Amino acid sequence: MAVLPFQPTPFFANKNRAFWNLQLAGWGGAFLLRASAAIANGQPLDLLAVIIVTTITGFSISLVLSVIYRQLINKQPFVTWGITMLVLLVAVALYASIEAWVQGIYSAGITESTFAQRFIGLIYIPATLLGGWTALYYAMNYFLTVEEQADRLERLEAQATSAQLAMLRYQLNPHFLFNTLNSISTLVLLKQTEPANAMLSRLSAFLRHTLIMEPGSTVTLAQEVETLQLYLDIERMRFEDRLRTEFTIEDAANDAMLPSMLLQPLVENAVKYAVSPQEEGARIDVTAAVNNGRLRITVEDTGPGLEGPRQGDLLALAKSGQGMTTSTGVGLANIRNRLMQAYGDNHHFETRSGAGGGFVVSIDIPFETAEEPATETKTEAETIEAPTLPETPAQTSPAVGFSTGRPMESNA
Q: How many domains, in total, are found in the chain?
A: 2
Q: What angle do CA 50, 52, 54 make, to 5 degrees?
A: 70
What does the pLDDT look like over 87-113, one tens digit per residue?
Answer: 999 999 999 999 889 888 887 767 777
What does the pLDDT look like over 233-242, one tens digit per residue?
Answer: 888 877 888 9
pLDDT of residue 28: 92
How far apart (Å, rounded) are the C-alpha atoms in residues 226 and 220? 10
How far apart (Å, rounded) are the C-alpha atoms in residues 314 and 324? 16
Residue 117 sits in the same domain as residue 172: no
Higher pLDDT, 184 or 68: 68
φ, ψ at 299 (rounded to 5°): -120, 115
Banded pLDDT at 365 (limits 50, 70, 90)? very high
Higher pLDDT, 405 or 360: 360
Residue 18 sits in the same domain as residue 92: yes
- CA 48 → CA 26, 55, 100, distances in Å? 18, 10, 15
Residue 174, pLDDT > 80, answer no
Residue 59 sits in the same domain as residue 192: no
Sorted by sequence, the CB contacts under 8 Å of residue 362 that are 6+ apart come out as 296, 297, 298, 348, 349, 350, 351, 352
Residue 324 sits in the same domain as residue 223: yes
* Pairing of β 218-220 and β 323-327: unpaired
Whose CA is closest to 303, among 357, 244, 245?
Answer: 357
Residue 174 sits in the same domain as residue 72: no
Residue 176 sits in the same domain as residue 111: no
φ, ψ at 313 (rounded to 5°): -85, 135
Residue 193 sits in the same domain as residue 320: yes
Boundaries of domain holding 245: 167-371+391-395
pLDDT of residue 371: 64
pTM, to two decimals: 0.49
Residue 129 within a domain: no
pLDDT of residue 403: 33
Residue 112 sits in the same domain as residue 252: no
φ, ψ at 365 (rounded to 5°): -135, 165
Q: What angle do CA 222, 227, 231 make, to 5 degrees?
A: 140
What is the average per-residue pLDDT within 29-58? 88
Residue 277 within a domain: yes
What does the pLDDT look like over 107-131, one tens digit per residue?
Answer: 776 777 788 888 898 899 899 999 9
pLDDT of residue 321: 37
Residue 303 sits in the same domain as residue 211: yes
- The DSSP symbol for 180 reads H
Residue 318 sits in the same domain as residue 241: yes
How far apart (Å, rounded) are the C-alpha atoms in residues 409 and 412? 9
Banded pLDDT at 74 (limits 50, 70, 90)? confident
Residue 150 within a domain: no
Residue 360 sits in the same domain as residue 220: yes
CATH code for the domain in which residue 176 is found: 3.30.565.10
How far apart (Å, rounded) are the C-alpha atoms in residues 286 and 170? 24
What does the pLDDT look like over 257-292, one tens digit per residue?
Answer: 998 878 888 888 888 888 888 888 899 999 999 999
The end-to-end CA distance of the chain, in Å, is 46
**Contact call for residues 27 and 19 (beta carbons, < 8 A):** no
φ, ψ at 362 (rounded to 5°): -120, 135
What percentage of the chain reaches a pLDDT higher than 70?
75
Q: How many CA within 13 A on the CB side of residue 412?
A: 18
Residue 297 within a domain: yes
Residue 83 sits in the same domain as residue 182: no
